[in-house]
């Protein structure tokens, strides 16, 4: 039932999109009948040690380190392992912080479990379409930590307002009380604010007002901007974060230097575009016109990276929408990191971007590195990206053995 509804939603979205992809967030399937994602017998109340591992320090690996975890947190790095505690031999293995997906759309416990299975320990849900579900997914022990934007701030008659059934009171018209809207969004427990720049979207003035109001809440605003003209609106509104990179052409040097000088970050979602353009039949179905291609996004990425723009790591994963797209949770983050390597990031730079860098840009100062007091969101790698164990908040989570070449092959995803 739910999958069919989601499919119809995407179909209506696609039918109404006129240029490049105007909207592609979709509700993933929900299974939120239970309020606990992980069985209550799971406990982070354990103490264990990892000995003799190569430990990631932000720029490289330091050898033969011991990391001791207790109550879901890293309590000691180095030093003597107390007698009698469970000890995992990390000899010849690499310990990195849990990965963060800066733009993803999990909507159920099973979506979180899938993310956790790929070592993604924090998921930033880029739109909350149901505050009850969002609050249920927060703070679940032993699975991916869930952080969410509010309901999308979109305009009357826009594709997003229609396709996602945004409640009338939350759609922005000329007379909308933006202060009340922003207060409402944070009153629902949202961690940050999402604006949608598109045809019939909020005006640049309204977007700028919302950004200021959000900043007064001590939070940040991220703006959906899939085309150059919408990216330009996000620049003029001084949104803290810009989501996507334009496939319809190249951002100008002036635009890129303004993004840089305003301290805006950009969440590129390169893998979204790579897959969308991997099948010539799919691009038009997704609403991309002939001016759009993956090469434009790659050049925009390279130009922004060269200019020193802060880049976040996101996938826009929505799961499987049969017959339309398959953007699996977790797996795509590894492919996104491969895209970063292809763009010239070093291994350590890419790991840092998906851990401490991702945390800092999204103002999550309580995670992202292997340090005393940080949560035990840890991945022990045999070799990158193959994992043996990983722990989310100190709870052991399953392993995967998929190889890089296979997991990022579009044909393996049905493209």
Q: Which residues bind ligand NAG (CB under 6 A)?
A: 19, 32, 57, 59-62, 130, 132-133, 227, 248-249, 289-291, 293, 295-296
Segment holding 211, helix H or strand E: helix 204-216
Return the number of the residue (33 or 401) whose C-beta is nearest ligand NAG.
Answer: 33
The edge-to-edge listing of strands for the beta sheet with 221-224 is 193-196, 221-224, 241-243, 265-267, 310-312
Burial class (CB in 10 A: 0-12, 13-18, 19+), 300: buried
Segment holding 70, helix H or strand E: strand 61-70
Closest distance between ligand NAG and the C-beta of residue 43, in Å? 26
Closest distance between ligand NAG and the C-beta of residue 251, in Å? 12
Return the number of the residue (32 or 76) whose C-beta is nearest ligand NAG.
Answer: 32
Strand residue runs (E) in 168-220: 193-196
Q: What are phi and psi of 356, to 5 degrees?
A: -65, -40
Q: What 3 state SS string does 297-346 have?
A: HHHHHHHHHHCCCEEECCCCECEEECCCEEECCCHHHHHHHHHHHHCCCC
Return the number of the residue (59 or 403) whose C-beta is nearest ligand NAG.
Answer: 59
Return the number of the residue (71 or 291) whose C-beta is nearest ligand NAG.
Answer: 291
Return the number of the residue (118 or 273) whose C-beta is nearest ligand NAG.
Answer: 273
Return the number of the residue (156 or 289) whose C-beta is nearest ligand NAG.
Answer: 289
Closest distance between ligand NAG and the C-beta of residue 63, in Å? 7
Residue 120 in tokens: 């993604």
Report in angstroms the alpha-carbon separations of 45 from 142, 379, 388. 11, 19, 22
Return the number of the residue (294 or 340) whose C-beta is nearest ligand NAG.
Answer: 294
Closest distance between ligand NAG and the C-beta of residue 93, in Å? 16
Closest distance between ligand NAG and the C-beta of residue 155, in Å? 17
Closest distance between ligand NAG and the C-beta of residue 5, in Å? 10
Closest CA to 34 of 140, 130, 125: 140
Return the number of the residue (2 or 85) whose C-beta is nearest ligand NAG.
Answer: 2
Closest CA to 392 of 103, 118, 28: 118
DSSP string, 223-254: EE--SHHHHHHHHHHT-SEEES--SSS---HH
Closest distance between ligand NAG and the C-beta of residue 77, in Å? 11
Report in angstroms the alpha-carbon separations of 160 from 8, 30, 264. 14, 20, 24
Rounded to whole angstroms, the Cα distance separating 243 from 224 reads 5
Rounded to whole angstroms, the Cα distance separating 164 from 151 reads 10
Q: Are 143 and 121 contacting, i.e. CB atoms less than 8 angstroms apart?
A: no
Closest distance between ligand NAG and the C-beta of residue 289, in Å? 4
Coil, strand, or helix at residue 4?
A: helix
Return the number of the residue (19 or 282) whose C-beta is nearest ligand NAG.
Answer: 19
In this chain, which residue has its C-beta nearest to ligand NAG?
60
Q: Are 78 and 63 contacting, i.e. CB atoms less than 8 angstroms apart?
A: no
Return the number of the residue (64 or 306) whose C-beta is nearest ligand NAG.
Answer: 64
Closest distance between ligand NAG and the C-beta of residue 247, in Å? 8
Closest distance between ligand NAG and the C-beta of residue 19, in Å? 3
Residue 2 in tokens: 């739910």
């Amino acid at each position: 039932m739910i999958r069919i509804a989601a499919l119809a939603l995407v179909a209506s979205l696609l039918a109404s999109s006129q240029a490049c992809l105007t909207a592609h967030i979709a509700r993933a399937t929900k299974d939120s009948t239970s309020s606990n994602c992980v069985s209550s017998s799971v406990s982070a109340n354990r103490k264990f040690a990892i000995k003799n591992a190569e430990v990631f320090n932000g720029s490289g690996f330091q050898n033969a380190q011991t990391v001791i975890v207790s109550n879901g947190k890293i309590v000691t790095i180095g030093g003597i392992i107390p007698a009698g505690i469970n000890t995992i031999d990390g000899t010849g293995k690499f310990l990195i912080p849990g990965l963060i997906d800066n733009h993803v759309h999990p909507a159920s416990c099973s979506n979180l479990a899938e993310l956790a299975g790929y070592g993604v320990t924090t998921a930033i849900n880029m739109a909350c379409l149901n505050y009850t579900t969002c609050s249920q997914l927060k703070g679940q022990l032993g699975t991916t930590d869930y952080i969410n934007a509010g309901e999308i701030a979109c305009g009357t008659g826009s594709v997003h307002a229609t396709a996602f059934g945004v409640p009338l009171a939350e759609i922005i018209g000329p007379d909308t009380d933006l202060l009340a809207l922003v207060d409402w969004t944070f009153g629902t427990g949202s961690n940050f604010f999402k604006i949608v720049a598109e045809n019939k979207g909020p005006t640049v003035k309204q977007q700028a007002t919302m950004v200021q109001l959000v900043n007064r809440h001590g939070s940040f605003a991220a703006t959906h901007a899939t085309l150059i003209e919408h990216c330009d609106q996000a620049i003029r509104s001084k949104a803290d974060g810009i989501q996507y990179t334009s496939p319809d052409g190249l951002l100008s040097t002036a635009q890129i230097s303004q993004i840089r000088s305003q301290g805006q970050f950009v969440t590129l979602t390169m893998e979204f575009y790579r897959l969308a353009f991997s099948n010539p039949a799919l691009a038009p179905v997704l609403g991309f016109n002939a001016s759009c291609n993956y090469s434009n996004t790659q050049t925009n990425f390279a130009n922004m990276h060269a200019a020193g723009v802060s880049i976040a790591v996101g996938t826009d994963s929505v799961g499987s929408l049969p017959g339309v797209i398959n953007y699996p949770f977790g797996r795509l983050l590894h492919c996104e990191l491969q895209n970063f390597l292809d763009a010239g990031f070093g291994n350590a730079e890419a790991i840092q971007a998906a851990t401490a860098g991702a945390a800092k840009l999204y103002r999550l100062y309580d995670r992202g590195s292997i340090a005393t007091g940080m949560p035990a969101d840890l991945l022990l790698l045999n070799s990158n990206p193959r994992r043996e164990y990983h722990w989310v908040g100190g709870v052991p989570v399953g392993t995967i053995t998929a190889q890089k070449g296979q997991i990022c092959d579009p044909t393996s995803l049905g493209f």
